[in-house]
Amino acid sequence: MSTAVLPPSTRVPAAPVVASGGGPRPSVAQTGVWIGIATISMSFAALTSALVVRQSSAPDWQHITLPPLLYLNTLLLVASSGTLEWSRRRQAPAGLLATLALGLLFVAGQILAWRRLGAQGVFLATGPSSAFFYLFTALHALHVLGGLGGLVYVQRRAAALNAAALYWHFMAVLWLYLLVLLTWLNR
C-alpha cells in the first residue's frame, strides 16, 4: 500500500513504546477504582462545603453528643483494612473472610450508633448537625456495603483483589476524615 506524501506539520511522531516488564502495570480495575475514589472524594467534598455554608447560614447549629460506639466502629474498620492487607500480602484467604466479617460488624455498629442517637431523641430532621451526621454516616455505610460486595466478588475473581483492597482502604480513610469532621463540628 502506498502512502501519500503529507505536509510535514501533520505528522505525529510515533509514541515511545514502553517496554513491558518495567514494573507492575496497574490493572484496568485499579484505574477504575482510582477514578471512583476521585468521584467519591468530590461528592464528599461537595457535602463538606454544603456543611460549611449551612453552618454559617443560620445560628441554629446545635451540638450533638456522638455515641462512643463510633470509636469502636472505627477500630473495626481500621482493623479490617489491616486484615485485608495481611490477606493480600500473604495470600491468606482467611484474612479476606476476617475483613468481610469486620466490615459487616462495622455496618452493624453504625446502625446501632444511629439507634443510640435516636434513643436520645436526635433524628435526621432534628437539626442541621444531626442531618449531616446521619447523611454522612449513611452515605459512607452505603459505600462500605458496595466495598463488601466487591470483596465477595473477589472470592470468585482473585484478579480484582488489588482494586478491591484499594477501595477498601479508601473507605477507612474516608471514615477517618468523616469522624474527625463530625467530632470537630460537635466538639
Partner 1 sequence: MGKLFAVVVTVIALVSAAIFALHTWWLPPDISTHGSRIDRQLNETMIVVGILFVAAQLALAFFVWRFGVGSAATARPVKTFPGGPTPMVVLATVLVGIEILVLTFVGSKVWAGVYQTPPAPGALQIEVQAEQFAFYFRYAGSDGKFGGMHPDLMSDANENFFGLDPANDTTARDDIVVASLVIPVDQPILLQLHAKDVNHAFYVPELRIQQDFVPGMVIPLHFTATTPGKYELVCTQLCGLGHYNMRAFVEVKTRADFDQWLKEKAAAQ
Partner 2 sequence: MTHGVATSHAPPRPQSFLRRNVFSVDHKVIGRQYLDLALVAVVTGMVLSWVMRFHLGWPETPVPGLGKLAPTGAAGGVITPEYYLALMTMHGTIMVFFVLTTAPFAGFGNFFLPIQVGAEDMAFPRINMTSFWVTLLALLVLLSAFFVGDGPPLSGWTAYAPLSAVGKDAGPGQGVGQTLWAVSIAMFCVAQLLGSLNFIATTLDLRTKGMSLARLPFATWAWFITSVIGLVAFAVLMPACILLILDRVAGTSFFIPAGLVISDRLQPHAGGSPLLWQHLFWFFGHPEVYIAILPGFGIVSQILPVFARKPLLGPRVFITCLIAIAFLSYTVWGHHMFLSGMNPLSATLFSVPTLVITIPAAIVTLLWIGTIYGARLRFTAASLFALGFVSVFVSGGLSGFFLAQPSTDIYLHGTYFVVAHFHFVMGVAAMFGIFAGTYFWFPKMFGRMMNETLGKWHFWLTFIGVYCVFMPMHYLGLAGNVRRYSAFTDDYLQPLIPLHRFITIAALFTGAAQLIFLFNLIRSRFRGPKAPDNPWEATTLEWSTSSPPPHDNFGGRPPVVSHGPNEYGGTGGGPRDYVMQADPQ
Pattern 18-47, binding to partner 2, x per CB under 8 A? x------xx-xx-xx--xx-xxx-xxx-xx
Asked if 60 touches partner 1 (CB under 8 A), the answer is no
Asked if 9 touches partner 1 (CB under 8 A), the answer is yes
Nearer to partner 2, 16 or 121 (CB): 16
Asked if 8 touches partner 1 (CB under 8 A), the answer is no
* Closest distance of CB 57 from partner 1, Å: 8
- Per the CB < 8 A criterion, the answer to whether 164 and 152 are in contact is no
Nearer to partner 2, 44 or 175 (CB): 44
Contact pick of 1, 2, 7, 15 for partner 1 (by CB under 8 A): 7
Nearer to partner 2, 12 or 119 (CB): 12
* Closest distance of CB 58 from partner 1, Å: 8
Nearer to partner 2, 133 or 168 (CB): 133
Q: Which residues of the chain form contacts with partner 1 (CB under 8 A)?
A: 7, 9, 57-58
